[in-house]
Chain A
């Protein structure tokens, strides 16, 4: 006769375990529900706008004039504002982040590294409104003097501050990617006579490239979504420009500045949700791209 396996644990305890798992699964799936709700409510509030304003004129429109006799809700100036600020921040942040990550991961002695990493976290912790305040009060004056500008409230001001804000993300994640490169790679390179610098540039960095790319994407994702800093320091002129020394208005700043002023239920209100929906889709895309890079790196 086969031995009978008897579970001697009291039945209620078993049921309790099963119930706990179901409850936890339910709570865990809340994040999925929330993400769905965000998407749903953005669409729900943006839909009335597209009923009165054609999608083509929103996406292709070159003017953003929400409060005038002849209203215009063109996304292009806001998109170009976001683009200019982001491109400027990328130009400043990427070289800095690469150098800093290489230093922290490959060059710095352990003690120094243990000191620098928390410093990066503190840099990330400063609230964006404080960066905005600093840009408004201090940096704008410096830029005004340095470039002989009419006003220091320009895309460049925001780019500098956003670069600083993106650095901790880029440096920390790039450093993780660099440190994940096995030491055997480095040793093999050093053993055939390459210097430490050559090893870093030709072995370690290429081996970590997908992780580093993901780090840069995630840092730029933060830049595109940043609101308070750009609202306070870009001057907020909704114009199409490619110059960092012009005043621009980003998508985020438009939402933040105008939502407080427009009446609930007006086309303007719904138009801001359409901008928010566009922003959500853009960041969704960037995160997806970063995730793809990470997956490729993990293989």
Chain B
């Protein structure tokens, strides 16, 4: 092999420097793209805070809309969203936890398990407006529930079921096998082990999933448009078969259908909705980070 001449070495070094410059440029571009992707979050938050904060007051949060929804507050919509969140959690959490525990603890590889997994995957991909159609045809019309909290809760509950199932399964899988073995060695049955060892161990993960589901329910509009939401209601619902106002639907109505609405009212409504949703997501993120830190520490 010929010895490397000085000129070659210099040229190689120059090529190396050019390469490094190009690399720095491309990495910088990648970084810029991340901040482009996150910029909308910041822009929207600033816009909502600037326009919405002046609207927020005790009256805004505790009064109903007045003057054909051109003034007043959002209290009935807040209550409605709370009821839908509660109702859908009652549907989705027990069913989702059961499904997740089955998949993680009992399911044997085979066509049955594969089918269930496929169903969970596909349920997660069904568009929300299709859930709305489903809720309308099954709960509202076929089961004669009418446009109601009950029908809306069932629809939303079914929609977030895959979230809870996946969260539960993952959380249960992360419970160390040694805990199960310890319990079984003490003579506990499989069910006792699942109930008293796996379930408590998976609880933080399940809770995280449940919070994410709640935040999704609180923000969804399309599934409740035909199943639960009312344009305007002067009073709060008194039975599960009453329709409700809901925060996201209220924002939609204020934005598109109310002529000459006070713009602060809309922005204020959007701000309250985003605050609720982002706070619950932050809670879920913090919970998960603490859980991971604990597991990473090799502790219980």
Contact = CB atoms under 8 A, between A and B. Distances in A.
B285 A121 contact: yes
Interface string B241-264: 000000011011001100000010
B170 to A, nearest CB: 13
Interface string B225-239: 110000000000000
Contacts of A218: 125
A255 to B, nearest CB: 5
Tell me what chain B mostly uses at the interface: helix, strand, loop, or mixed. helix
B102 interface: yes
Contacts of B263: 137
Contact of A31 (B101, B119, B128): B119
Contacts of B190: 17, 20-21
B1 interface: no
Interface of B: 19-20, 22-23, 26-27, 29-31, 33-34, 36-38, 40-41, 44, 47-48, 95, 98-99, 101-103, 105-107, 112, 115-116, 118-123, 125-134, 136-138, 141-142, 158, 161-162, 165, 187, 189-192, 194-195, 215, 218-222, 225-226, 248-249, 251-252, 255-256, 263, 266-267, 270, 273-274, 277-278, 281-282, 285
Nearest to B169: A28
B134 A38 contact: yes
26 contacts: A20-B194, A21-B191, A24-B106, A28-B107, A31-B99, A31-B120, A34-B123, A35-B122, A38-B131, A97-B37, A107-B30, A122-B281, A126-B278, A129-B219, A130-B44, A130-B248, A137-B267, A171-B37, A195-B23, A196-B27, A225-B125, A273-B133, A276-B130, A280-B126, A283-B130, A284-B122
Nearest to A12: B189
B41 A27 contact: no
Contacts of A287: 121-122, 125
Interface in A67-111: 95-97, 99-100, 102-104, 107-108
B47, B103, B128, B134: residue with the most chain A Cβ atoms closer than 10 Å:
B134
A99 B30 contact: yes
Contacts of B121: 287, 291
A126 B44 CA distance: 10
Contact of A103 (B30, B40, B215, B221): B30
A42 interface: yes
Given A95-B33, A130-B44, A137-B255, A38 B126 contact: yes
Contacts of B119: 31-32, 34-35
B158 A34 contact: yes
A255 B126 contact: no
A260 B257 CA distance: 13
Interface residues of A, number: 84
Contact of B33 (A96, A224, A286): A96
Interface in A279-295: 279-280, 283-284, 286-287, 291
A256 interface: yes
Interface stretch (A58-66, A184-192, A226-234, A239-247): A226-234
Nearest to B157: A34
A129 B133 contact: no
Contacts of A119: 38, 41
Contact of B277 (A37, A97, A125, A221): A125
Nearest to A116: B34
A120 B38 contact: yes
A43 to B, nearest CB: 10
List of 4 A-B pairs having minimum Cβ-Cβ separation, nearest first = A225-B127, A127-B219, A99-B33, A103-B30
B40 A123 contact: yes
A164 interface: yes
Contacts of B126: 35, 38, 225, 280, 283
A227 B159 CA distance: 15
